[in-house]
C-alpha cells in the first residue's frame, strides 16, 4: 500500500484502487479540509477508509463508521497497512455527544431514506461551532442506472441540500459543484455498464444491500487502473482536477460538496 499524492491510497493487494469519480471528489475534499489540524472527527460511511486514512493524519481522534462488514474489513486493513491511527466501527458511540469537531459523510446521504434524521444525528455529535462536510450526487434530472445500482434514494439539486442543512441549524460556509467535465463523462459512460449489471443481477436487491457493496466493489477499476497510473493517465487526471476547480462555482458538475457550521 502507498499514499500517492495524486491518487491517495493505492492498495491493489488489498482489493482497493480509486476510481475516477472518487478521485475527483478526493481532490476537492482535501483542498476544502486543508487546515493543519482537524481535531476530533468522524467519517460516516467511510467505505474503504482511504479518505479517512488521509484525514486521520491531521486528526487528534479519527473514527470511521461503516455498516458494511466487507467495507470494514477493507478499511481496517488499510489502516493497519498504513500504520494509521483511525478506528473503524460498525455503529456510533454514545460518547460522541457534542464531542466532535468535524463530521464527514461523502456520498452517504443519498443512501439514507430519512436524510433529515441523519443530519440531526450527526449534528448531535458536533460541539457548537463544529463543522459538517458532506458530498451528494447533483441534479435530480440526472437520475440513472448508476443510482439504482448503488442503492440511492435520491439525487439533490443545490436548493435541496442548502434547505436541508439550514433546517437542522447549520450555516453553509462553502458549497461547490465538482466533477465537471470528467465526472460528467464518467457518469454518462457508466450508465451503459450499470444498465448491464442491473440486468445481470439475480432477483431483487434492496437498497441496503446495494449500498453495502457500492463503496468497495472495485473489480472493474482494478482492471483499468494500470492505464490511469501511466504517464498519460496522470497528466490527464491533473488536467481534470484543474478543470473541475475552474468550474466548481458553476452547477455543471455531478456532485455537491458542502462545508457547514453548527450554530
**What are the pLDDT digits (tens) for 216-257?**
565 667 778 888 999 999 999 999 999 999 999 999 999 999
Q: Is the pLDDT of residue 215 over 70?
A: no
Tell me how far apart the alpha carbons of residues 142 and 187 are, in angstroms, rounded to a whole number: 9
Question: What confidence tens digit (pLDDT) does each residue in 55-108 have?
Answer: 999 999 999 999 999 999 999 999 999 999 999 999 999 999 999 999 999 999
* Residue linked to cell 450527526: 122
Q: Which residue has the higher pLDDT, 189 or 157?
A: 157
DSSP state of 156: B
The shares of helix, strand and coil residues in the chain, as percent rounded to the nearest 5, are 50, 25, 30
Share of the chain above pLDDT 90, in %: 83
Q: Among 6-15, 124-133, 191-200, whose mean pLDDT is lowest?
A: 191-200
Assigned C-alpha cell, 25: 471528489
Mean pLDDT score of the chain, rounded to an integer?
93
- Helix axis angle, 231-247 to 219-228, nearest 10°: 100
Amino acid at each position: 500500500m502507498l499514499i500517492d499524492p495524486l491518487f491517495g491510497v493505492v492498495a491493489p493487494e488489498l482489493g482497493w484502487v480509486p476510481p475516477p469519480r472518487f478521485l475527483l471528489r478526493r481532490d476537492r475534499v482535501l483542498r476544502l479540509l486543508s487546515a493543519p489540524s482537524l481535531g476530533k472527527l468522524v467519517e460516516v460511511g467511510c467505505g474503504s477508509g482511504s479518505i479517512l486514512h488521509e484525514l486521520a493524519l491531521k486528526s487528534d481522534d479519527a473514527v470511521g463508521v461503516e455498516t458494511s462488514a466487507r467495507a470494514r474489513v477493507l478499511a481496517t486493513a488499510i489502516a493497519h497497512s498504513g500504520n494509521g491511527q483511525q478506528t473503524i466501527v460498525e455503529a456510533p458511540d454514545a460518547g460522541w455527544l457534542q464531542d466532535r469537531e468535524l463530521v464527514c459523510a461523502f456520498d452517504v446521504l443519498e443512501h439514507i431514506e430519512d436524510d433529515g434524521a441523519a443530519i440531526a444525528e450527526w449534528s448531535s455529535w458536533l460541539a457548537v461551532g463544529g463543522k459538517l462536510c458532506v458530498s451528494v450526487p447533483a441534479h435530480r434530472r440526472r437520475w440513472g442506472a448508476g443510482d439504482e445500482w448503488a442503492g440511492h434514494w435520491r439525487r439533490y439539486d443545490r436548493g435541496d441540500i442548502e434547505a436541508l442543512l439550514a433546517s437542522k441549524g447549520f450555516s453553509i460556509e462553502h458549497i461547490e459543484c465538482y466533477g465537471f467535465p470528467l465526472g460528467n463523462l464518467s457518469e454518462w459512460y457508466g450508465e451503459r455498464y450499470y444498465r448491464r449489471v442491473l440486468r445481470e443481477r439475480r432477483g431483487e436487491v434492496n437498497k441496503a444491500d446495494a449500498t453495502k457493496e457500492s463503496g468497495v466493489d472495485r473489480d472493474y477499476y482494478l482492471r483499468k487502473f494500470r492505464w490511469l497510473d501511466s504517464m498519460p493517465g496522470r497528466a490527464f487526471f491533473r488536467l481534470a482536477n484543474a478543470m473541475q476547480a475552474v468550474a466548481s462555482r458553476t452547477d455543471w458538475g455531478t456532485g455537491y460538496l458542502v462545508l457547514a457550521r453548527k450554530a
